[in-house]
Amino acid sequence: MIRSRVLAGLSTLAFCALVSATAAPAQAKALAKVNGVEITDDDVKVAAEDIGPGIPRQLEGKARESYLLDVLIDEQLLVQEAQSQKLGETPDFAKRLAYLRDKALSQTVVTKIAKEAVTDAAVKQTYDTLVKSQKPDTEYRAHHILVQTEDEAKAVAKRVKGGEDFAKVADETSKDSGSKGGDLGPWFTKDKMVPEFGDALAKLEPGQISDPVKTQFGWHVIRLDEKRPKVIPTLEQLKPRLEAYVAQKAVTDYIAKLHEGAKIERTEAPPPAADAKDAAKPADAKK
């Protein structure tokens, strides 16, 4: 456990060393001492901002705070060991500290831009634009049975159209182990399925069962349970994602403006745009 915490925090070791060496504000509460060096609640807040996303989700409240404090205790032990070996006086440390300082400054600017951009008005405007861009569509809920051959599909269709319980037949015969009883889960639009499946589904009325449908996966027998006009989530439901989008766009636009007014000189030309995009693709996507 100690090893994992240390590894999780090593990227901020130099930064934490700088924080620890700075006098804590008078209102900061001391949470621990490591050989006389205080670790405060302000230090924990800084650590939470830095490594919070990497903390196990099951840790909440006091358990989360305790985890962060353990990280800082482990790091302070390493800081003191580094100081005893005078590693802070090496050129390598100076380079790392300069890099972390620049990173902290850039992140401070990004945080400021994002915070100022994410207003109720901006989020509402983004939501309204999203709603206007949505085309009318239909959502479905359905069950299906997947088998390998057309003859098997015909036999299955005969059974369920004859009144046998669809879920029971699906559990007995379907090759789709991911859909219990053949249930395809929450509401979806037809474009979420392969074309042949989606087209067949769209022709059904609630309660109807399709004839066998062939797709790349095999043969399906589909039962449409319900359909409705596509429902657009409310602003409140989308708010976290909208806020993230507004913040990201504001930062991207701001950086673009900085580029316009800056003199940037490269010692080597960047690779062609097409090559750069191709390099960013997963290896299997290039085949």
pLDDT (tens digit per residue) in 62-80: 898 999 999 999 999 999 9
For residue 113, what pLDDT is reported? Answer: 97
Amino acid at 18: L
Residue 282 has pLDDT above 50, yes or no: no
Is residue 70 in a domain? yes
User: Mean pLDDT lowest for which of 106-110, 179-183, 266-270?
Assistant: 266-270
The fraction of the chain above a pLDDT of 90, given in percent, is: 73
- Distance from chain centroid for Cα 61: 22
* Rounded Cα–Cα distance for residues 100 and 45 (Å): 18
Is residue 252 in a domain? no
Stretch 193-199: mean pLDDT: 96
Domain count of the chain? Answer: 2
The fraction of the chain above a pLDDT of 70, given in percent, is: 86
- Kindly calculate the radius of gyration of the chain based on its CA atoms and give it in whole angstroms: 29
* Rounded Cα–Cα distance for residues 23 and 146 (Å): 67
Stretch 163-171: mean pLDDT: 96
Are residues 150 and 211 located together in one domain of the fold? yes
In 3D, which of 138, 141, 149 has the Cα closest to residue 223?
141
| CB burial string 47-75: b at 16+ within 10 A, e below | bbebbeeebeeeeeeeebbebbbbbbbbb
In 3D, which of 90, 79, 67, 82 has the Cα closest to residue 36?
79
**Which 8-state DSSP code applies to residue 118?**
-
pTM higher than 0.85: no
Is residue 255 in a domain? no
Structure tokens at 246: 């507004």
- Which CATH number do you get for residue 187? 3.10.50.40
**Which 8-state DSSP code applies to residue 190?**
G
Query: What domain range is 173 assigned to?
Result: 138-229
User: Mean pLDDT lowest for which of 4-8, 128-132, 219-223?
Assistant: 4-8
Q: How many of the other CB atoms lie within 10 Å of CB of 173? A: 18
* Rounded Cα–Cα distance for residues 154 and 152 (Å): 5
Residue 21 has pLDDT above 50, yes or no: no
Is residue 176 in a domain? yes
User: How would you class 160 by CB atoms within 10 Å of its CB: exposed for 0-12, middle for 13-18, buried for 19 or more?
Assistant: buried
Is residue 250 in a domain? no
Stretch 232-259: mean pLDDT: 96
* Last residue of one domain, picked from the residues 70, 95, 120: 95
How does the average pLDDT of the chain come out, rounded? 87
For residue 84, what pLDDT is reported? Answer: 96
Are residues 145 and 224 located together in one domain of the fold? yes
Are residues 69 and 142 located together in one domain of the fold? no
Residues 201 and 190: beta-carbon distance below 8 Å: yes
For residue 208, what pLDDT is reported? Answer: 97
Give per-residue pLDDT as tens, 91-129: 999 999 999 999 999 999 999 999 999 999 999 999 999
Is residue 216 in a domain? yes
For residue 49, what pLDDT is reported? Answer: 86
* Last residue of one domain, picked from the residues 182, 205, 229: 229
Give the phi and the psi of residue 63 in degrees, each rounded to 5: -65, -35
Structure tokens at 5: 């915490």
Is residue 19 in a domain? yes
Q: What share of the chain is helix, strand, coil (3-state, %, to 5)?
A: 60, 15, 25
* Last residue of one domain, picked from the residues 95, 130, 146: 95
Residue 50 has pLDDT above 90, yes or no: no
Is residue 87 in a domain? yes
- DSSP calls for 11-60: GGHHHHHHHHHSPPPTTPPEEEEETTEEEEHHHHHHHHHHHGGGS-TT--
| Confidence band, pLDDT 50/70/90 cuts, at residue 27 | confident
* Rounded Cα–Cα distance for residues 46 and 16 (Å): 9
Residue 90 has pLDDT above 80, yes or no: yes
Stretch 173-177: mean pLDDT: 94
Three-class secondary structure of residue 205 per DSSP:
coil
Q: How many of the other CB atoms lie within 10 Å of CB of 157? A: 22
In 3D, which of 192, 94, 185, 106 has the Cα closest to residue 143?
185
| Confidence band, pLDDT 50/70/90 cuts, at residue 274 | low
Residue 19 has pLDDT above 60, yes or no: no
